[in-house]
Amino acid sequence: MDQGIKRTKNSTKRSLQSETGYVYLSVYPNMAKTFGEVGYAGKKACVYQVFVKIKDLKPDHDQLRNKRYWSKDPSIGNRLIDSLLYGHGARVKRDILPYEIKKIQ
């Protein structure tokens, strides 16, 4: 908590699709917890509420790519709104600072 949430590096990313240099966020706490548990099997996942400006949010392209592939819906784009509505998340291209974080689970 005192260092914030650091963006992914090659040594810390847990998904082949994820890009380095981002912190990935979910709209749903239970979804965030599941991703944490999958990425760090056998470890307890913590979920944090973050407070970032909307202008800092970027679309989560790997979630959108998966959603298009599995739903066979070519109308799903690569915009932030698509990421929030269909992929239920977004990403931030910076560290999340300690004052932007509140532990919720």
Task: Give per-residue pLDDT as tens, 53-96.
Answer: 999 999 999 889 888 988 988 899 999 999 999 989 999 999 99
Kindly state whether residue 82 falls inside one of the protein's structural domains: no
For residue 39, give its domain range: 23-59+89-103
Kindly state whether residue 10 falls inside one of the protein's structural domains: no
Residue 43 φ/ψ region, left for φ over 0, alpha for ψ in the -120 to 50 degree band, beta for the rest: beta
Q: What is the mean pLDDT of the chain?
A: 88
Kindly state whether residue 73 falls inside one of the protein's structural domains: no
Select the more confidently predicted residue: 11 or 98. Answer: 98
Kindly state whether residue 40 falls inside one of the protein's structural domains: yes
Kindly state whether residue 76 falls inside one of the protein's structural domains: no
User: In the structure, what pLDDT confidence band is assigned to residue 105 with cuts at 50, 70 and 90?
Assistant: low
In the chain, the number of structural domains is 1
Kindly state whether residue 34 falls inside one of the protein's structural domains: yes
Kindly state whether residue 81 falls inside one of the protein's structural domains: no
pTM metric for this prediction: 0.83
Whether residue 7 contacts residue 102, with contact meaning beta carbons closer than 8 Å, is answered with: no
Kindly state whether residue 66 falls inside one of the protein's structural domains: no
pLDDT over 80 at 51, yes or no: yes
